[in-house]
Amino acid sequence: MNATLTEPAGRPEISDRFNWHADPPAPFRGTDETELERLKNRLLRTFLGAVATPELIPLFRRAANEAAALAWLEPHPLLVFPTLFEEKLAAARKRNHRQGLVRSRSLAWMKEEA
């Protein structure tokens, strides 16, 4: 008995199985990526130039990377990046200020116990 193998609907034929290419999950935006990196670096240099405390430098770099990652999820990342970056910078400054308060309180308590 000669049985033929048939594929379920929606799947490629056996002969095309190895030549089948899926559509990419997102459109290729290579030029946008380089433009976003340039914008990120330019804004980061601007803000790092105004930093008085060196402890903020890694926080600002992290904020820029997080903002770029979030902006990349949007249809127009170059438009939303500056606002996201400013929001992330504000959050980093606030977090750094709170950590400084906790650090100073902890040092005061340690001196009282000693």
Q: What is the DSSP-derived secondary structure letter of residue 7?
A: P
Instruction: Give the predicted TM-score (pTM) of the model.
Output: 0.66
Q: What is the pLDDT of residue 28?
A: 55
Written as one letter, the residue type at 110 is M
Q: What is the pLDDT of residue 11?
A: 60
Per-position pLDDT tens, the chain of length 114: 555 555 555 665 656 556 656 665 555 556 667 899 999 999 999 999 988 888 899 999 999 999 999 999 999 999 999 999 999 999 999 999 999 999 999 988 888 876
Burial class (CB in 10 A: 0-12, 13-18, 19+), 71: buried
